[in-house]
Amino acid sequence: MLQAMKLKDKIVVIVGGSRGFGKALANLFIAEGSKVAIVSKNKENVESTGQEIGATPFVADVRDEQSLRDAAEQIHKQFGRIDIWVNSAGVFKTFPKEDLIDMDKAHELFDINFFGAVFGCRTAFPYLTESEGVMINILSSAALDATRAKNAKLYAASKWALRGWIEAYRGEKAESPVKILSVYPGGMKTHLHDEAIPEDFENFMDPVYVAEKVIDSLKLDNPEPDLIIKRPKV
């Protein structure tokens, strides 16, 4: 099992590591001495971020489980093992008119936020079993309380669905050596919100602040299985 305070030389995979929270977390792992592979859909984004921060880029679309498996296999071949796997890829979509749901858009949201993370878990599990490693799933505070998820009912629902899946999965895998962790951040200032900038976006958290909380928790002997990260009180 991962020892406290020892992130040095760990092999870390961050799916959704090209931007936003995933990129901030990748940077912090690198600062701790981990070797980081970042995986995302857009080749140009993931390659330029890889070069910028010193992570190794891999291209995969989380909607396509085989592409994730291919990336994991290449990473395992290149680095020899996988110690930590982070499912951070996600999209935010709003549906302002509740009686006019664009079903293609709704399916895309669930295919990425829900099934994409499920595929990530399934892909990572054998490698993490081998390394007795850690899986980290990035959910959202909207999966705990969706009352303020205005026009974002389906986004909140995709994260509630994932929360249910992860809880059941964790129960099923209780005897395995893999630690299955969930993180529930509040709003972060990232490009996730480009489609619809929230009114209080100014007050959203810096993704680096959230990433620091995740690293702090990982360094504990027993990392918090359900880490809730709220905006700091001002």
Ligand X SMILES: NC(=O)c1ccc[n+]([C@@H]2O[C@H](COP(=O)([O-])OP(=O)(O)OC[C@H]3O[C@@H](n4cnc5c(N)ncnc54)[C@H](OP(=O)(O)O)[C@@H]3O)[C@@H](O)[C@H]2O)c1
- Judged by the rule CB under 6 A, the positions of this chain that interact with ligand X are 16, 18-22, 40-42, 45-46, 61-63, 88-91, 112, 138, 140, 185, 187-188, 190-192, 204
Cα–Cα distance for residue pair 218/198, rounded to 1 Å = 30
Report the first-to-last Cα separation within the chain, whole angstroms. 37
C-beta separation of 39 from 68 below 8 A: yes
Helices (H) and strands (E) in the chain, counts: 7, 7
Identify which of residues 169 and 204 has a Cβ nearer to ligand X in the complex.
Answer: 204
CB of 13 to ligand X, least distance (A): 12
**Cβ–Cβ contacts within 10 Å for residue 60, how many?**
25
Identify which of residues 57 and 133 has a Cβ nearer to ligand X in the complex.
Answer: 57
Interacting residues of 221 by C-beta distance below 8 A, sequence separation 6+: 4
Identify which of residues 50 and 133 has a Cβ nearer to ligand X in the complex.
Answer: 50
Cα–Cα distance for residue pair 217/161, rounded to 1 Å = 24
Identify which of residues 131 and 190 has a Cβ nearer to ligand X in the complex.
Answer: 190
Cα–Cα distance for residue pair 231/188, rounded to 1 Å = 9
Cα–Cα distance for residue pair 112/103, rounded to 1 Å = 14
CB of 105 to ligand X, least distance (A): 14
| Coil, helix or strand at residue 29 | helix
CB of 96 to ligand X, least distance (A): 18
CB of 5 to ligand X, least distance (A): 25
CB of 192 to ligand X, least distance (A): 3
Identify which of residues 108 and 167 has a Cβ nearer to ligand X in the complex.
Answer: 108
CB of 115 to ligand X, least distance (A): 10
Identify which of residues 2 and 142 has a Cβ nearer to ligand X in the complex.
Answer: 142
